[in-house]
Amino acid sequence: MKLKNLGIKTTNKILPWLLSVLALFITTTGVLAQNRLNIDEVKEGLHVITGPGGNIGVRLTSEGVILIDDKFPQDFEEIQSLVAQVSDLPVRYVINTHHHGDHSGSNAGFLQVAEVIAHKNARDNMIRGDQDGLPRMIYTNETSVFLGGVEVQAFYMGRGHTNGDSVVYFPDLKTVHGGDLLHGIAPFVDYGNGGSTRGWVGTMNNILSLDFDTAIPGHGSIMDRRDVVNFRNQMEAVRERMAGLIRNGLDADDAPERIKDSGLSWTQADDGLFMQRSIPGFFDEISAEIE
């Protein structure tokens, strides 16, 4: 762009102002929405895209790419660009682990080039939330995608983060993608969309019935099997702590402070969604269980 064509004299004072306006325009319009994300190899044939939003699994095959989740709407082009760094083939399928927009936000873009699959309840949640990019394919208990000699399995193993969470399993790689059923900091229980800590414990036990040694969480670093066991154990421990407090007369208003325990990292993460958004529903859930 030649500034003289704008009829503006580019003095030393005006140029910084123009640059700041241009930067603001780029930020607000998403012209340079790139370089938010990174891609790294998990195992041969499997990568993970990290950055703002949920972790994306990238399964490579000889006939195309299968994605697990697709972050925010503004990430569509950059996701495609990162996939192109590790494969010359197009994305053929996207499996949503659940309906939240930081995991399914680029569905509308991918539906132009691929099929999107989700659990029935996840699609229903998207409809109720008036979200764009509704999956064209759904399942109820389990399903598989077969592409280029690779099988990718998706299971509904019960309630947890929501009522429509998919657990995606790569049997040849002994790896699972748990979506937000696994979280590297502290989980969010979406009670408004069927979330349940009681159900979550059972779902975690179902995940642990799979033969895996590596797990991709919805947020955070790659886990191993021991990390997944520890996640399940902490879910049980915070449930036991809340139940004990309620039995001893805990008032709902005091729950956010009283639930804190130095041995429970989720309760120490003040900026985590467990402490920020889950405690009122958690109190009500445990209270109903022990009545």
Q: Quick: pLDDT tens for 113-152.
A: 999 999 999 999 999 999 999 999 999 999 999 999 999 9
Prediction pTM value: 0.88
Length in residues, the chain: 291
Is the pLDDT at 236 greater than 80? The verdict is yes
First to last CA, the chain: 70
Please give the backbone phi and psi of residue 139, each rounded to the nearest 5 degrees, phi first.
-145, 170
The predicted model gives 230-256 an average pLDDT of: 98
Q: Which two tokens stand for residue 64?
A: 């195309």
Give the H/E segment covering residue 156: none
Confidence of residue 33 (pLDDT cuts 50, 70, 90): low
CATH of domain 39-237: 3.60.15.10
Is beta strand 150-155 parallel, antiparallel or unpaired with respect to 38-43? Answer: unpaired
What confidence score (pLDDT) does residue 35 get?
A: 87
Q: Domain locations in the chain? A: 1-32, 39-237
The predicted model gives 196-204 an average pLDDT of: 98
Task: Name the least confident of 15-24, 115-124, 241-250.
Answer: 15-24
Helix (H, G, I), strand (E, B) or coil at 158: coil
